[in-house]
Amino acid sequence: MAKEPADGTAGDTAGTTGLPASLEMAWGLRERPGKGPRPTLTLTRIVDAAVALAAGEGMDAVSMVRVAKELGVSTMSLYRYVTAKEELYILMADAGVGLPPAPSGEHGLGWRELLSQWAYAQRAVLMANTWILRIPITAAPVSPNQLAWMERGLAALAGTGLSEGEKLSAIILIGGLVRNEATMAADMMDAMMKSGVSPDVAMAQYLRTLRLMTGPDTHPAVTRLLDSDAFAGADGPDFQFTFGLGRVLDGLADLISSRSRPTP
């Protein structure tokens, strides 16, 4: 999140950016609301308190009333900074994802390596902050850190010959893969935690059920899967994500290659 200005009054930027005042403050375009002595409550403190609640108790615990209680202030005082819970969600997600890490070994890396690092970095952030996955996506990204991730993804495809629209579609496709895989993993982990069953026991129960309900006559393909070592994790814990990402990148590679081939 952008650093809040040290002093001053609210800037008259509404109507030029189209953003709510809270997001303008996050960008450093609008200063704190009101005049007089600088208050102890800040937008950063509000967002940090909301993030701490989400990380500790889940998104269901986050409300304007609860955040105000955690900060020891009135609920109405929060509305001087954030006018709606939906705005708070956007700011929380922005704080949670942070800035994208710099590419490792950036010099000499091709688009495929850069996009792979970008995807794995997103996945790591979401798996470490699964509460972000519970925030509904209601609009295109407009917050500082989210746009920094967007910039990094688009920049990875510079020089590929893809149109700007194709670059955007590519990072949306990869971002969707990342979010879907992270959401499934988080959902399964939440279910196991609620049931009190360990991952190993849950998998054993699932396989037992599959074997009882299927057979080579009715489900030959499922039977072959069960007889293989796929469920044993022989390919590694990240195989499904690595496989899916690789196939998406293969498709992009074919498209990029077609751009450089002469037209018949």
Q: Delimit the domains of the chain by residue range.
A: 21-97, 111-196+233-260
Percent of the chain whose predicted confidence (pLDDT) is above 90: 62
Q: What is the model's pLDDT at position 33?
A: 55
Residue 233 in this model has a pLDDT that exceeds 80? no
Percent of the chain whose predicted confidence (pLDDT) is above 70: 88
Q: What is the model's pLDDT at position 51?
A: 98
Q: What is the model's pLDDT at position 202?
A: 87
Residue 39 in this model has a pLDDT that exceeds 60? yes
Q: Which has more pLDDT, 231 or 78? A: 78
b/e 219-231 (16+ beta carbons within 10 angstroms → b): eeeebeebeeeee
Long-range pairs of 116-120 with CB within 8 A, sequence gap ≥ 24: 116/245, 116/249, 118/149, 118/152, 118/153, 118/156, 118/171, 118/174, 119/174, 119/175, 119/177, 119/178, 119/245
Residue 244 in this model has a pLDDT that exceeds 70? yes
* Range picked from 13-27, 34-48, 89-103 for highest mean pLDDT: 89-103
Least confident of 1-15, 34-48, 142-156, 225-239: 1-15
Residue 35 in this model has a pLDDT that exceeds 90? no
Model confidence band, residue 56 (pLDDT cutoffs 50, 70, 90): very high
Q: Tens digit of pLDDT for each residue in 145-192?
A: 999 999 999 999 998 999 999 999 999 999 999 999 999 999 988 888
Domain 21-97 has CATH 1.10.10.60: yes
Residue 82 corresponds to which amino acid?
Answer: V
DSSP character for 176? H
- The domain 111-196+233-260: what is its CATH number? 1.10.357.10
Q: Which helix (H) or strand (E) holds 76?
A: helix 75-78
